[in-house]
Amino acid sequence: MSEHDSDVIFAGSIPKLYEQYLVPSVFEPFAGDLVRRLQARHLTHVLEIAAGTGVVTRALAEMLPSTVEIAATDLNPGMLEQAQKIGTKRPVQWRQADALDLPFPEGSFDAVICQFGVMFFPDKAKGFAEVHRVLPHGGVFVFNVWDRIEENDFPDTVTNAIASLFPDNPPRFHARVPHGYHSPEIIERDLAAGGFTSKPEIEVVTRESRARAPRSIAMAYCQGTPLRNEIEGRDELLLGDATVLATKALTERFGRGPIVGRSQALVVTVVK
């Protein structure tokens, strides 16, 4: 496994910590916004890719009519297991699947939705081509990506704080992957390479991320994301030290808690 292969691995205790700490603080504020963009459309089948622990899946099940069938996929079985354990208000088809090789026929879904997942695609154009394939003419693809890390207070603070532990090779997972795909021009180019010929709508959306205490956010990012893999790959004994450093930096910047930080994303809507 190369150094960056672990960027897409959400396993072990990561799914549980991700759901416990990261979802309520950082992901929930954007989930409803994404689903609302589908509400005005006449839909019968919706596919969610890179569903993670199901925060958007739960919003889909609550906000869309009961007649809409929902399928939710993720590459990592551990994330899907966590999502299924929490459950949804109505039945959802859960399926482990690679977004670059979706196990569905052409034109199966009226809409495809993805929250903060496309950044992890090793081949963006191929992933977009798969979405294009499973949509009919007139189908819609709605997804969001994080803006640059400097526009997102919590991960920026954590990333800078733990760099001092590894001065020769600081862990940069968050800057490199979740916050590394934010150029509208590149996104539009990759969508076109995947077969989308219409111009995408790209909107900047800003929300507040909240947590009861700085340690919650330190745990979220250091231990509930693949940043953990990167830290432990350098020295597994330093995971606790990294979490302490992150907690200290967050406390110095935002106070002892409850804390509030700025989060910013780009929301993309494109029609086939």
For 82-133, what is each residue's pLDDT tens digit? 999 999 999 999 999 999 999 999 999 999 999 999 999 999 999 999 999 9
> How far is Cα of residue 94 from the mean position of the Cα atoms in its chain?
17
Residue 12: predicted pLDDT? 79
Region 234-238: mean pLDDT is 91
pLDDT band at 2 (very low <50, low <70, confident <90, very high): very low
Residue 11: predicted pLDDT? 59
More confident residue, 10 or 237: 237
Residue 252: predicted pLDDT? 97
pLDDT at 8 over 60: no
What are the residues whose beta carbons fall under 8 Å from the beta carbon of 90, sequence distance 6 or more? Answer: 61, 66
More confident residue, 17 or 130: 130
Residue 147: give the domain boundaries.
Answer: 5-271
More confident residue, 60 or 224: 60
The CATH code of the domain that includes 136 is 3.40.50.150
Strands 111-115 and 69-74: unpaired
Taking CA atoms, 175 is separated from 81, 154, 178, 225, in Å, by: 27, 12, 7, 13
The two most distant CA atoms of the chain are separated, in Å, by 55
- Split into its structural domains, the chain has a count of 1
Residue found under tokens 């977009």: 128
Instruction: For Cα atoms 139, 142, 209, give the angle at the middle one, nearest 5 degrees.
Output: 165
Q: Could you tell me which of 111, 107, 128, 131 has the C-alpha nearest to residue 39?
A: 111
Q: What is the pLDDT of residues 18-47, one digit of tens each?
A: 899 999 999 999 999 999 999 999 999 999
Residue 1: predicted pLDDT? 40
Q: Could you tell me which of 226, 247, 115 has the C-alpha nearest to residue 174?
A: 226
Q: Measured between alpha carbons, how far is 245 from 19 in angstroms, rounded to an integer?
A: 22
pLDDT at 159 over 90: yes
Q: Could you tell me which of 207, 215, 219, 216 has the C-alpha nearest to residue 262?
A: 207
